[in-house]
Chains A and B, each alone.
Chain A
Amino acid sequence: MSISYIPGNGSLVDSTESAKVMHHHVLSVLVENRAGVLARIAQLFSRRGYNIFSLAVAPTDDSRFSRITIVVDVDSAPLEQITKQLHKLINVIKISELDPADSVECELLVATVNADISARGHVMELVALFDGKIIDVGTDKLTVLVTGEPDKLDDFSELLSSFGIVELQRTGRVALAKLERQSNKLKNTTGRAG
């Protein structure tokens, strides 16, 4: 029906920043849902000189636990050392490193962009192309929302910037491992199950 953006194929925007992304790793950290846990994690990163690229925290379906998705900049320290130090925190239950190839990632972006009468149509077209939504309308501005993989949002914000971004906010990515079930099914249907 509508043309939408396919992340990662470079058909719309040539991603020259891909090298930078290589140094980022996504850690999905299951923690006890207690006061001060985020402070302990943030403090550990600061004290050991590790860099956080983005961070998202929310409770899980089990109210005893929260999940923190941390994108770390591994130029600052080896990932192994970061995870080992995180493991030493008493409130940390489990850490999984999520390989982008084996995980589903999502992030949310909201932006207010200049959109006078002449530009409005173009902005709306761009938002539609990225499967986004217009969530607020002003006389000469629009506030738009787009979700999806971080690369997609990078591309979107770059394209949007030509209209003049007034304010932009991203949530940082959340991620989960891809479901084992899918690959098993695939293995079964291709007869390569072992």
Chain B
Amino acid sequence: MKLTGAQALIKSLEMQGVDVMFGLPGGAILPVYDPIIDSPIRHILVRHEQGAGHMAEGYAQATGRPGVAMVTSGPAATNIVTPLANAYMDSVPIVVVTGQVATGSIGSDAFQEADITGITMSVTKHNWLVTDANDIPNVVAEAFHVATTGRPGPVLIDFPKDVANASMEWYWPTSVDMPGYKPNSRGHSKMIAAAVKMMFESTRPVFYVGGGVLKARGSEALAELVELTGIPVVTTLMARGAFPDDHPLCLGMPGMHGNYTAVTSMQQADLLIALGSRFDDRVTGKLDGFAPNAKIIHVDIDPAELGKIRRPDVPIVGDCRSVIEDIIKAIKSDPDAFQQRADISEWVGTVKEWQQKYPLKYEQPSLSGILKPQYVIEKLRDAAPSDTIVVSGVGQHQMWASQYWKFNHPHTWINSGGLGTMGFAVPAAIGAKVGKPDRTVWAVDGDGCFQMTAQELVTASMERIPIKVALLNNSYLGMVRQWQEMFYGERYSEVYLSPDLPDYVKWAEAMGCAAFRVESAEEVGPAIEKASEINDRPVVVEFRTDSSEKVFPMVPAGVSNDNIILGPEGLN
């Protein structure tokens, strides 16, 4: 069967099981948009290419399947660099196809030419420039294989226009031949035995759970291991929901804005069992002062993470789920050793005392008084179904959402952790809703973030993707304002945005959404109720919140986690 390169590309995507793609056509990718008309793949037309990339990420994080985005060459390709970098930092499997000028014109500074394989080399797991139409099925198969196996990540296929127009004889490869790519998923049995021994000897152990557990679909295995061992769990920003917040052994989020118990339990632990986490600076604080007396068991599928920041005593390369399952097996295989393991009840007791003594706190003055953002999050949380998917942007609202939501199901929290991409929430929420249409999807966004990608609400309205947006409008770039208040002597530089410019309600309505404004605590409940009833189009609820509210606890940058500031009274 003879196909054009464009037809072969679309057919290859179909062969990979792609059911939806996010994109925006243009000159160089034109030939590929023609066969889309005849394809069962749903194409969602975005309003900016960055949106396509983040939607693919949201889709991938909600479903576990790779997200696909397709855009044209040059400026479209550069517009999708941010989502690629974001997906690379957070290990999100997405496949991005970019158009490219004809192979004969590459290097000539042709119209809308950009060296996108060169530009994205450091923000993709791998990328390909297709120069021969006969390579297309192989390249697509390799791209999906690389994106979804090992440590997942973004890949890019650059697709010149003449390759799209060329003719090829269709085939579909039965396997991929990549001699340099052989990810290892099984942990070494010797290391697993060493880990179990170390766990049994520890009197103050903590599971330090990262996004790798979610990527490995390892939440159930983790729950079993925690039940078996009784060891407390912290879930990092990328792992919220990997272990249920309602579980008595769940200590919540550690790090710069982590709660006291999560931060301090790591500081005082004698053993950290790091599962798919990477000792990010936002978790460790000042590295010399981080968990000074803890031995480290580090499980990660990426060997380069082991010893990158902190040298592990027991390094285990492997897929988190597989390793956790092997650890459980190893524990069960030796009941005597299990019986004689060190007693951790005193430690668990201490941790629980901290939880009682140092809960997260804020004060909502009165129902008619100024509205606190945390109150909004709590009200949203209480009104939403427990499997609601929460998607956030980056900044104060992100931290409050992570702190105050109760995540009791895996894959219900989607945010930009590593790169910290403002504007992530709206498009990622759209992608998540496309992937999980039966779930309620709330984007919790800030006013600064919202203005960066809000145009995708037009996409959501057009495509009837009824996401809900809780816009916490505090008229400022709030996190930057917080730092200027705390560390720059209240000298506010370029952080004021205005509460009513733009008029968010009118703007949202102009984009086809239902929209309303909430200015006091007593209006919060009814507004959420109203938003919950609207399911035929996107909803934007603008909450006017206290602009002076800061995120606490906080460990200032460059300071040891021992010096955690619990609230505004802890300043000066």
Contact = CB atoms under 8 A, between A and B. Distances in A.
Contact of A31 (B129, B180, B303): B180
B304 A84 contact: yes
Interface string B82-96: 000000000000000
B307 A88 contact: no
Q: Which bracket fits the contact residues of B?
A: 10 to 19
A84 B303 contact: yes
Given A80-B307, A84-B303, A88-B304, A40 B180 contact: no
A47 B304 CA distance: 15
Nearest to A86: B304
B179 A93 contact: yes
Interface in B135-167: 146
B121 A85 contact: no
A134 B334 CA distance: 74
B562 to A, nearest CB: 27
Given A47-B122, A80-B307, A81-B308, A90 B178 contact: yes
A84 B305 CA distance: 9
Nearest to B150: A88
A80 B308 CA distance: 9
B520 interface: no
Interface residues of A, number: 21
Contacts of A90: 125-126, 146, 178, 180-181
Contacts of A47: 122
B179 A32 contact: yes
Contacts of B302: 88
Contacts of B129: 35-36
A32 B179 CA distance: 8
Nearest to B122: A47
B307 A93 contact: no
A44 B117 CA distance: 14
A93 B182 CA distance: 10
A122 to B, nearest CB: 49
A92 interface: yes
A123 B117 CA distance: 49
Interface in A85-112: 85, 87-93
A36 B119 CA distance: 12
B335 interface: no
A79 to B, nearest CB: 11
A40 B117 CA distance: 10
B303 A87 contact: yes
Contacts of B121: 39-40, 43
Given A36-B117, A90-B126, A85 B304 contact: yes
A82 to B, nearest CB: 10
A36 B121 CA distance: 10
A146 B291 CA distance: 55
Interface in B179-207: 179-181
B526 interface: no
B384 to A, nearest CB: 39
B365 interface: no
Interface string B36-76: 00000000000000000000000000000000000000000
B277 to A, nearest CB: 17
Contacts of B570: none
B147 to A, nearest CB: 11
B117 A32 contact: no
B118 interface: yes
B60 to A, nearest CB: 20
A11 B302 CA distance: 48
A81 B180 contact: no
A39 B118 contact: yes
Contacts of A81: 304, 307-308
B59 to A, nearest CB: 24
A43 B115 CA distance: 14
A136 to B, nearest CB: 35
Contacts of A80: 307
Given A36-B117, A40-B121, A47-B122, A92 B180 contact: yes
Nearest to B123: A47
Interface of B: 117-118, 121-122, 125-126, 129, 146, 178-181, 302-304, 307-308
Interface of A: 31-32, 35-36, 39-40, 43-44, 47, 78, 80-81, 84-85, 87-93
24 contacts: A31-B180, A35-B129, A36-B117, A36-B118, A36-B129, A43-B122, A47-B122, A78-B307, A81-B304, A81-B307, A81-B308, A85-B304, A87-B303, A87-B304, A88-B125, A88-B302, A89-B126, A89-B180, A90-B126, A90-B146, A90-B178, A90-B180, A91-B180, A93-B179
> Which 4 residue pairs of A and B lie closest in terms of their CB atoms, listed nearest first?
A84-B304, A90-B126, A93-B180, A47-B122
